[in-house]
Chains A and B, each alone.
Chain A
Amino acid sequence: DAGVIQSPRHEVTEMGQEVTLRCKPISGHDYLFWYRQTMMRGLELLIYFNNNVPIDDSGMPEDRFSAKMPNASFSTLKIQPSEPRDSAVYFCASSRAGNTEAFFGQGTRLTVV
């Protein structure tokens, strides 16, 4: 398996624009996670899905953030409108039910100017 695949690897956008980050989890994994990494706050869990259903979105910072998982092989994290403080590295990860290991993608580095 190719691992968790995220796109794009880098995104630079202007404040106010919509940004969509994409993730393809490892085939057969039941859980999908979206994390955000910043210098100030470290690694934060934003939301996770189980069998394509959002289970816990308490980490989503505000209504400008939304995430979807239309099928087992694809998820998106959308920010609309984007703000400079959203600049961070966003990671997608996946895991099997009952397995404590999460497999991470390479991340998307988002810069909002």
Chain B
Amino acid sequence: AQSVTQLGSHVSVSEGALVLLRCNYSSSVPPYLFWYVQYPNQGLQLLLKYTTGATLVKGINGFEAEFKKSETSFHLTKPSAHMSDAAEYFCAVSLIQGAQKLVFGQGTRLTINP
């Protein structure tokens, strides 16, 4: 069975600083990988996804993530944090081309300091 581990339940960075949210997965077969964002009192929204092909994936709002098979990682980065990036971020994995078997990590709450 697949699983996801997000390192750090809470990350705090200064406005303009690099954002790095860590995600490691375990899977017996090549996985599909996702990052979702949840703003306060909202549902989850897809930021980006890796299915096949290029391992560096670009998403909305300037975020990107790189699939590293050797490290079983899919870390999320953004070069310069903005106050509006404050939210909770979820890494998720699926073994199939479909949303019905998504397994979510525990989430990382990102705080942006002015």
Using a Cβ cutoff of 8 Å, how many contacts connect chains A and B? 58
Q: Contact: B42 with A102, CB < 8 Å?
A: no
Total count of chain B residues near the partner, CB < 8 A: 21
Q: Contact: A101 with B49, CB < 8 Å?
A: yes
Beyond A45-B102, A99-B99, list 12 extra A-B contacts (CB 8 Å). A31-B98, A33-B100, A43-B90, A95-B100, A100-B32, A100-B49, A100-B51, A100-B94, A100-B99, A101-B49, A101-B99, A107-B43
For chain A, the bracket of interface size reads: 20 to 34
Which residue of B has the minimal Cβ distance to A42? B106
Q: Contact: A95 with B104, CB < 8 Å?
A: no
Q: Contact: A93 with B90, CB < 8 Å?
A: no
**Is A106 interfacial (CB-CB < 8 Å)?**
yes
Across the interface, which residues of B come within 8 angstroms of A91, CB to CB? Answer: 43-44
**Is A113 interfacial (CB-CB < 8 Å)?**
no
Q: Contact: A100 with B98, CB < 8 Å?
A: yes
Tell me the bound Cα distance from A83 to B97 in angstroms: 36
Across the interface, which residues of B come within 8 angstroms of A43, CB to CB? Answer: 44, 90, 104, 107
Interface string of A4-19 (1 = CB under 8 A from B): 1000000000000000
